[in-house]
Chain A
Amino acid sequence: MPDNVERRPSSFPDERLPSGTIMDGQTLANDVEEAFDYVVVGSGAAGAVAAHVLAKSGASVVLVEEGPWAKTREFGERVYDAFKRMFRDVGTQVIQGRAYIPLLQGRCVGGSTVMNSAIVHRMPEDVVEDWGKRFGLGGSITARALEPHFEALERDLNAHAVSDEALGENNRLFLDEANAHGVPARRMQRYERGCRGTARCLTGCPTGAKQAMNVTYVPWALALGAHIIFSCRVERVLIERGVATGVVAWTTAGGPATRSARRVTLHARRAVIVAASTVQSPNLLRRSGLRARALGRHFQCHPGYAIGGLFDGPVEMNFGATQGAERVDLRKTDRIKLETVAMPPELAAVRFPGVGRDLMARLGAFSRLAVWAVVVRAEAEGSVRTAWGGRDKVTWNPTRLDLERARKGVALLVKMLFEAGAREVWPGFYGVPSTLRSPDEAALIEKIPPDPRLFGFIASHLFGACRMGPDPGASVVGTDFQTHEASGLYVVDSSAFPTNLGVNPQHSIMAMSRLAATRIAERGSRTRAAA
């Protein structure tokens, strides 16, 4: 094991938790019924921040998380183990449409922040302006209103640029190449404290350096008196006479069923805060009886496409920030963002073209491979529904323009990789040679027909499906984050975002949630004072 992993701290924040605040659904012997001021559904970026703000206001709070609490000390490097413990559907979730697009979501305490790269981007101002103009959010969601929340999050989670010590060759190559051509690439800003460049963001940071929710806002909220019940899936929100009064949940075994589930009833004296993600939040609202026309509609995402470049010297993606360098200069003009992404060997083995001896030769060259990706701010909208068996169904098809933009981004990456010194580039498109040996061959990429079945996208960064807006006919939640149909029921995750952003959304999700929770807490305090 590399010694950058071996030198772990003696204890982690997820090991020093106040007693009496934690309930593990897998070990629950009896049904539970309790009351709190606020019930927060989901412990990811949005839920953890909301719980922390509400607990800090002095209210009693309970977080309910469907997945287990995977502890930092247990994080290994095997992707399959991580998929089983921490990913929704063991990493097999897909978006359906003309093509099947893998969709990776966390299902554990901390949600997707446990396996993302903790990238920090403030919500672009043009997005805030667009929301104001097109969706009527101008009076409520403004850059000025979000500013203090961005600042607080950046302070709390130590947002800063990737250090020299954790940069690694994959990121350095990207930056050097961009700088050599006067392109405004930059080191990513990330939430981390003492990152040692283990390149294991995807399977959970083994040193606790990544400031994911499982080691920050969740333990911090518990220290303020909040409670958490994990391995417990919320079945529905209880709504009585148009007011949300709590939730009904069932414990989950987290894998093959080994015991009968227990019913958990949590009454909410003030409000239920839904932060279950863009896929789960709309379906939870639907199971709870909400019927807004916009519910489940307007789903958006950022499809990503990664390609590999083979260098003569070592790149060794197993060292360095998983994602540490980016180009955002094309976000407005071309709706694309270019970035690095270090792949673990298992995912590389999936993405590498070919089978048999060809694949083996590529695997043998893994340590000389750099992987860079294009992320598209796709215009296409899809839907989130409940399919047979109660499973979540996401349907989405990229538009022709989205595909052309992805194509353009990949062609740019091909050129960048060659200019950076790559001997070969492996684009991975169907219908294009699996190995490109000259930058001129980037032209082949631009000729690919705009058919999603020829691409190998992975979807991340999900938005919409509980869109915010003042019009109940066109949105699910109002500008105060409260659903139009039930008072005391709030949605604070990115499902409330009217559109996607074009940048990594965690920072914006957390700032929006923090803004919402602050307003909810103020409202709760006023109500209590009046009473």
Chain B
Amino acid sequence: MKLAPIENQWAEAALAAIFPGSSEEGLDGISAMNIAAYLGDVMGWVPFRAAMGLRVAIWLVALAPLFVLGRLTTIAGLVPAERERMMTILVASRSYAVRSLVLVLKSFGALLYASDARVRALMQGPPLRSVVPLRRKRIAAV
């Protein structure tokens, strides 16, 4: 199963809203990564049911502006701030199905985003230099 170009475009817009990057944290956004190639790989590997789940999630966020913001456009037609606002509403939706589908998209995005070497390095701090515990303290093992 493959995503259509328009579905990739929607997925990229949604994931960019979930992982926009942060200059304060020094984190690049997911847009700097090859999302389409990654999602193509995902769709080739995951079982049909999971692939369908991802596709439904993409369509949900794509068409959400109509229902959430009352705007006759897709997520790709929103400016970044509106996309983020809409995703914030969706992820906190009262509907379990809606927030679960957004979580599906966020999960696949997280597997790409946080696997990036630069993002990992910034999240985890500098590499550890030794195997010595960070703080030696007497611990009573029971």
Q: Which residues of A does B touch, CB under 8 Å?
A: 1-4, 77-81, 83-84, 89-90, 92, 99-100, 161, 164-169, 172, 175-176, 179, 184-187, 196-197, 255-256, 314, 316, 318-320, 344-350, 354-361, 363-364, 366-367, 389, 391, 430, 453
The A-contacting residues of B in range 84-142, CB under 8 angstroms, are 84, 87-88, 91-92, 96, 99-100, 102-103, 106-107, 110-115, 119-120, 122-125, 127-137, 139-142
Most chain B CB within 10 A, of A83, A100, A360, is at A360
Report yes or no: B131 in contact with A355, Cβ–Cβ below 8 A.
no
Report yes or no: B128 in contact with A349, Cβ–Cβ below 8 A.
no
Given A346-B111, A350-B103, list of 20 further CB < 8 A pairs? A3-B127, A92-B46, A164-B136, A172-B135, A175-B141, A184-B142, A314-B125, A319-B128, A349-B106, A350-B110, A354-B91, A355-B91, A357-B20, A359-B18, A360-B19, A361-B24, A363-B22, A389-B48, A391-B49, A453-B96
Q: CA–CA, A355 to B96, complex, Å?
A: 17
Report yes or no: B128 in contact with A176, Cβ–Cβ below 8 A.
no
A350 with B107: in contact, given A3-B130, A256-B45 (CB under 8 Å)? Answer: yes
* Least distance between A432 CB and chain B CB atoms (Å): 12
Partner of B131, one of A79, A196, A346: A196
Closest 3 CB pairs of A and B: A364-B25, A349-B110, A360-B22
B77 on the A face (CB < 8 A): no
Partner of B25, one of A1, A184, A363: A363
Report yes or no: B124 in contact with A345, Cβ–Cβ below 8 A.
yes
Residue of A nearest to B53 (CB): A92
Residue of B nearest to A196 (CB): B131
B78 on the A face (CB < 8 A): no
Report yes or no: A165 in contact with B132, Cβ–Cβ below 8 A.
yes
Report yes or no: A356 in contact with B46, Cβ–Cβ below 8 A.
no
Q: CA–CA, A322 to B46, complex, Å?
A: 26
Report yes or no: A355 in contact with B49, Cβ–Cβ below 8 A.
no
Report yes or no: B131 in contact with A92, Cβ–Cβ below 8 A.
no
For A92, what are the chain B residues with a Cβ–Cβ distance below 8 Å?
46-47, 49-50, 53
Most chain A CB within 10 A, of B88, B106, B111, is at B111
* Least distance between A419 CB and chain B CB atoms (Å): 16
Most chain B CB within 10 A, of A83, A164, A359, is at A359
* Least distance between A439 CB and chain B CB atoms (Å): 23
Report yes or no: A318 in contact with B45, Cβ–Cβ below 8 A.
no
Q: CA–CA, A46 to B49, complex, Å?
A: 29
Report yes or no: A355 in contact with B123, Cβ–Cβ below 8 A.
no
Report yes or no: A186 in contact with B142, Cβ–Cβ below 8 A.
yes
Interface string of B22-46 (1 = CB under 8 A from A): 1011110000000000000010111
Q: CA–CA, A89 to B87, complex, Å?
A: 27
